[in-house]
Amino acid sequence: EWLRWMAVHDLDMMFMRERTHLLPHRRVGEVNAGFYMVHCNSRTLAFWRRVLTEQLTEPKMDGMPPYTDQYHLNRGLNFQRGVFPQEGFYGVKWATIPDYQCIWSTPESEQELVLSAFHHAVNTDDKPG
């Protein structure tokens, strides 16, 4: 289904939306780097090379708090409210997977349990300590 949707809308990438409860109003449009689909082409190769380069040049050892790959990814995606498809660096076209098709942390609804395609098991209480 997702691959067909990507083809119909000429998308290069699809991501799971970041669904953290930490400052959600400041993270509108942010995607999670834990699960995504990529159509390999020159645009996506250039995009991911840039994300990697930015991550590798991060001054972690100079006492600065490190940015994560997710920070560089979202910066490069350049989210614009109300736009579909979204367009990031190098002209990559992207969208997000509908929330009901993925569980982030713990299920938020019965619909997620029935329709989800995967579970991104972060911040759950059932992990060994």
Question: In tens digits, what is the pLDDT along the chain, a chain of 129 residues?
Answer: 889 999 999 999 999 888 666 666 777 888 988 889 999 999 999 999 999 998 888 766 566 666 688 889 999 999 999 999 999 999 999 999 888 777 776 667 777 777 676 666 565 565 555
Question: Are 6 and 14 contacting, i.e. CB atoms less than 8 angstroms apart?
Answer: yes
CA distance linking residue 8 with residue 11, whole number of Å: 8
pTM: 0.79
Long-range contacts of 50-57 (CB under 8 A, 24+ apart): 50/76, 50/89, 50/90, 51/76
Q: What is the number of H-type helices and E-type strands within the chain?
A: 4, 6
Give the pLDDT score at 73. 94
Among positive and negative, which fits the CA dihedral 24, 118, 70, 123?
Answer: positive
